Amino acid sequence: MTQLVVTKTRLHGGTWEGIVTGSGDAPPALSVTYLEDPLPDVTLTAAAEADSWLLHIPVPVEAIADGVQTILITDTETGARLDSFTLIAGEALGDDLRAEVDLLRAELDMLKRAFRRHCVETA
């Protein structure tokens, strides 16, 4: 049994694109889900390279929402998770990032004070 590998190439124009390898000449059996529901319009086409398949996943409009949304790509034969991608959006994210930056600034200020104190004490 071969191991499928999914490699992201880009996310562009609302479509996630990647390359799937490891299935030989036969198209890989994949499942792409969002909130445990299969996504429609997922396409898998043979690539120019041997043992490579182009995977195109249109991002569903429902996934463009506040919070964290995850889309899973799994091997339907083994049930193994091959890859996933996450969309993060909304004001809640902004608050989290601002809080994290504030915490990092406070820690950096503390380190600067400790370093300056150390330099004065050892001089």
- From CA 123, how far away is CA 108, in angstroms rounded? 22
Asked whether residue 62 falls in the same domain as residue 96, the answer is no
| Global pTM value | 0.73
Residues of the chain with confidence (pLDDT) below 50: 1
Asked whether residue 96 falls in the same domain as residue 76, the answer is no
b/e map 61-81, b = 16+ CB within 10 Å: eebeeeeebebbbbbeeeeee
Asked whether residue 42 falls in the same domain as residue 83, the answer is yes
3-state class of 40 per DSSP? coil
Number of folded domains that form the chain: 2
- From CA 63, how far away is CA 60, in angstroms rounded? 5
Domain containing residue 49: 5-89
What is the reported pLDDT for 106?
Answer: 84
In order of 69, 72, 79, the CA distances from 76 in angstroms are 21, 12, 5
What is the reported pLDDT for 45?
Answer: 95
